Amino acid sequence: MADLTPWQRLQQANLVEGDAPHDTRPHWSSRFLLGMVGWIAALFLLFFLFMSFSQLTRDANSALMMGVVLMAIAYSLNRFAQRNATSSDLVDQFVLALALAADAWLLYGLIDQLDPHSAPLWLGLALLSLAIAALFEHWLIRLFHSFAAAILLTLGLACLGLQLLALPLVMAAITLCWLQAERQPVHHQCYESLTLGLALSLLVLGRLHQPLWDGGANMLDELGHSRLPLWLNPLLCAALLLGVMVRLKLPLRYGLPLVLISALIPGMGAGTLVLVLGFYAGSMGLMTLAGLLLLGFGSLYYYDLGLTLMTKSWLLLGSGALLLGTRQLLKVLNGRAPS
């Protein structure tokens, strides 16, 4: 029985019939070469367009028109490939290159005409990115545009002085996408790419709240000074984390310390939320991102402490001892729990 393949075990259980299906996908090296060919073809096309319409693309309106045309071509190719089941790595990468080039031209045309301190500009671009992510049946395009939508939303909120709400809102969007993926398994790939894109944006959001140079203001404060108290950001993140733990029916005696830490240290709630969702869904990508988020936000908090190095060293020593003691306590409690 141990020597049987998974297919043979399914046959013995009368769950399948016939021969085992063969993997018809090409080798990864062939897929890589096809993807490279798609990018080269797209770059040649973009180079031709740039050389042919170089004078027109310097004008903002012409750049907008070029971006709209390229996005329409990319969307048409994507829909045609999906409808006729002719999608391949070559077509996918060609569509991705066209879509990213269209994004660049659209962004250039809009920013050149509008005020960068205008909240409607950034919020409108965020909605446009979400619309593109929803329309395209392309995993990477959804990931890139959900990432861009979160950043653009943050910039729009910063113009209104509400930048401290950006992190909780993105966390809420990640939770919503994950819940929708659980309710609609057919669209799992769509929600997975959106979730990963939003989670990636959290890495950038943490840096946007930091000063651009020593003694200077951060990028978000350059767009507009915050109207909200600083303690509101980690408090909202901790409340959202607590709500997710209750929704997943996780043991609160283990989760409440994480909620408390999230309420005290800015950004830790985002990393913990992604870690919980990734662990619950068995997603290695989300768990890896969560580790990077916790490491990044923890490092930023450590270096922002107005303490001497000796005091920080004692704090690290005490934190390590506390973690080891907590681990030992959990082992004792699990040992006493009835099996």
pLDDT higher for 309 or 148? 148
- Is pLDDT at 213 greater than 50 in this prediction? no
State the pLDDT at residue 94.
77
The pLDDT mean for the chain works out to 76
How much is the average pLDDT of 85-91? 67
State the pLDDT at residue 218.
64
Residue 116 three-state SS = coil
Segment of 85-94, 191-200, 207-216 carrying the highest mean pLDDT:
191-200
Strands in the chain per DSSP E: none
- Closest Cα partner for 237 from 160, 150, 166? 166
**Helix (H) or strand (E) run with residue 234 in it:** helix 232-247
pTM of the full predicted structure? Answer: 0.76
Phi, psi of 211 (to 5 degrees): -60, 145
How much is the average pLDDT of 124-142? 85
| Chain Cα centroid distance, residue 239 | 21
State the pLDDT at residue 139.
79
pLDDT grade, residue 283 (50/70/90)? Answer: confident
pLDDT grade, residue 212 (50/70/90)? Answer: very low
User: In this structure, what token pair is assigned to residue 87?
Assistant: 């999608």
State the pLDDT at residue 203.
81
* Burial class for 218, CB neighbours closer than 10 Å (0-12, 13-18, 19+): middle
| Chain Cα centroid distance, residue 150 | 8
Instruction: Provide the angle, in degrees to the nearest 10, between the axes of the packed helices 268-281 and 232-247.
Output: 20
State the pLDDT at residue 290.
80
Question: pLDDT tens-digit profile of 250-277?
Answer: 777 777 777 887 777 777 778 888 888 8
In angstroms, the CA 271 to CA 252 distance is 18
- Is pLDDT at 39 greater than 80 in this prediction? no
State the pLDDT at residue 144.
85
In angstroms, the CA 198 to CA 148 distance is 8
State the pLDDT at residue 2.
55
pLDDT higher for 54 or 166? 166
Question: pLDDT tens-digit profile of 231-248?
Answer: 787 888 888 888 888 887
State the pLDDT at residue 306.
66
Contacts of 98 (CB under 8 A, 6+ apart): 42, 45, 46, 70, 71, 73, 74, 77
State the pLDDT at residue 110.
76
State the pLDDT at residue 85.
66
State the pLDDT at residue 167.
84
Q: To the nearest whole percent, how much of the chain has pLDDT over 70? A: 79
How much is the average pLDDT of 19-44? 64
In angstroms, the CA 307 to CA 313 distance is 10
